[in-house]
Amino acid sequence: MTSLREVVRRLLRRTREAAPPDPAYSYTIYWTKMALGWDDAQRTGALLGAEHLIGQSLFTPTAYERRYLDARIDDSMHSGESILALAKVLKAFGKDTIAGPDGPPSDGV
**54-101 tens-digit pLDDT:** 999 999 999 999 999 999 999 999 999 999 999 999 999 887 654 444
Identify whether 89 is part of a domain: yes
Q: Is 78 helix (H, G, I), strand (E, B) or coil?
A: strand
Identify whether 101 is part of a domain: no
Residue 19 sits at φ, ψ, to 5 deg, of -105, 95
The more confidently predicted of residues 89 and 15 is 89
Buried/exposed code over 32-41 (b: 16+ C-beta within 10 A; e: otherwise): bebbeeeeee
Identify whether 37 is part of a domain: yes
Identify whether 64 is part of a domain: yes
The more confidently predicted of residues 3 and 87 is 87
Identify whether 33 is part of a domain: yes
Query: Could you list the residue range(s) of the whole structural domain that residue 73 is in?
Result: 28-96
pLDDT in tens, 24-47: 999 999 999 999 999 999 999 999
**How many separate domains does the chain show?**
1
DSSP string, 39-51: -HHHHHHHHHHHH
Identify whether 70 is part of a domain: yes
pLDDT band at 109 (very low <50, low <70, confident <90, very high): very low
Residue type (1 letter), 84: L
Identify whether 5 is part of a domain: no
Does the predicted model carry a pTM greater than 0.85? Answer: no
